[in-house]
Amino acid sequence: MESVRVGLIGWGTVGCGVIRVLEENASVIRARLGFPLELARVADLDLETPRPVPVAREKLTQNAREILEDPGIQIVVELIGGLEPARSFILEALERGKHVVTANKALLAHHGNELFEHAERHGGSIGFEASVAGGIPLLKSLREGLAGNKVDTIFGILNGTGNYILTRMTEEGLAFADALREAQEKGYAEADPTLDVDGIDTAHKLAIAGAMAFGTPIRFDQVYVEGIRQIDPLDVQFATEFGYQLKLLAIGRHVNGQLEMRVHPTLIPSSHVLASVRGAYNAVHLHGNAVGSIMLYGLGAGMMPTGSAVVADIMDIARDLASGVVNRVPPLSFLPENTQDIPIRPMEDVTTKYYFRFSAVDRPGVLSKISGILGENAISIAAVIQKGREVEGAVPIVMLTHEAQERAVRKSLEAIDRLDIVRGPTRIIRIEDSENSHVERE
């Protein structure tokens, strides 16, 4: 094969990373493939804003159709983000016999099942390594490196923005708003940080990775999601006193014939390997029945790490083109006919440990009333801190529990928050400790 021609739709941050990797590592890429990758065309609505990686004018266009309709372009790289027109571009590219690479986790989380079915129908392939954890080869590990395992657990930090904010709140005692502002100033957070701080970005990624790990369709709408907007520095401080660190975690588990798929702020022991993951880094703990526990760590976003993952997908597809095969490895790891609609465990049925912070008036009998309601709902207290100082007119009482069911916790807190001795809603953070960070599959 003389070369493989690539068309790039989206000349933004990641697009620039792809172009730079293709240019700077051209000799390495050719040595590994046996032929070059040729960037034939780049489409973007804005061709005037200066970019860190320039493109020859004759290769630029504002019309993505020039890429989709070019019979000489074999691989289309979609990097514009969002649901539309990205979805339509990918569908048309596949219909025209092209292969696709995308970093669009939101699109895959919402429409991935449709896109993969469309690719199979038209004999095309979709590469999407860059959609989850940026430059960390998480999806390739699930698809190939761990192919001989029953993977029962995905447990990790999949959003660098949220991790940066929580790191600054932990290490400097910053309020959430101040840590967010700093993240935006440093370019770690968007002007509208909703997807990152509300946990939605992490949920997109968990839905994709979970489908690959557990052999199910992508079901983003069934992932339980909580963000970090309500995290108070006081809770970060108490967590530290108990020997925990606070992280926004993606948790996927296959246990007792059901899947847990949840994203929320989580306390983990300070000794846990994930507790040391600082700043904008990502890290994912995986557990397979043969390999045991492993962890992948690195930059989960950014121009070059994400560009690296996109180029790896381009190279995989180029090898298949040279060999005359398509989808030698199924995109979601399992053959489509062998995927299973494994039920998602409702959040109310999840059992874990909990951190509670009650804001109560300073009078005798308060602790006994609160603990009495918890006891009535089979919630056992593991540890208590009661501070004498007032915070906003109330005294904080902090409790850690043994394992309890979410349904019982919610019922208890509804009753406690109605007490006249309690000021404001109880703060709740779930706990995952080292002894229950993975659960063996049946």
Q: Which of 98, 140, 205, 247 is catalytic?
A: 205
Are residues 179 and 165 in contact, defined by beta-carbon separation less than 8 angstroms?
yes
Domain boundaries, the chain: 4-136+303-338, 138-298, 349-436
What are 29-77's pLDDT values in tens digits? 999 999 999 999 999 999 999 999 999 999 999 999 999 999 999 999 9
What are 380-422's pLDDT values in tens digits? 999 998 876 666 668 899 999 999 999 999 999 999 999 999 9
428 known member of a binding site: no
The enclosing H or E element of 233 equals helix 233-241
Predicted structure pTM score: 0.95
Are residues 267 and 239 in contact, defined by beta-carbon separation less than 8 angstroms?
yes
15 known member of a binding site: yes
Catalytic, 98? Answer no
Considering just the CA atoms, what is the radius of gyration of the chain in Å?
24
Write the CA distances from 342 to 84, 257, 437, integer angstroms: 29, 7, 21
- The 3-class secondary structure across 41-80, one letter per residue, is EEECCCCCCCCCCCCCHHHEECCCHHHHCCCCCCEEEECC
Tell me 425's DSSP state: P
What are 180-211's pLDDT values in tens digits? 999 999 989 999 999 999 999 999 999 999 99
Interacting residues of 308 by C-beta distance below 8 A, sequence separation 6+: 17, 21, 135
Q: Which CATH architecture has domain 138-298?
A: 2-Layer Sandwich (3.30)
CB burial class (10 A; 0-12, 13-18, 19+) of residue 54? exposed
CATH class of 4-136+303-338: alpha beta
140 known member of a binding site: no
What are 72-94's pLDDT values in tens digits? 999 999 999 999 999 999 999 99
What are 250-288's pLDDT values in tens digits? 999 998 899 999 999 999 999 999 999 999 999 999 999
Topology of the domain comprising 349-436:
Alpha-Beta Plaits (3.30.70)
What are 106-154's pLDDT values in tens digits? 999 999 999 999 999 999 999 999 999 999 999 999 999 999 999 999 9
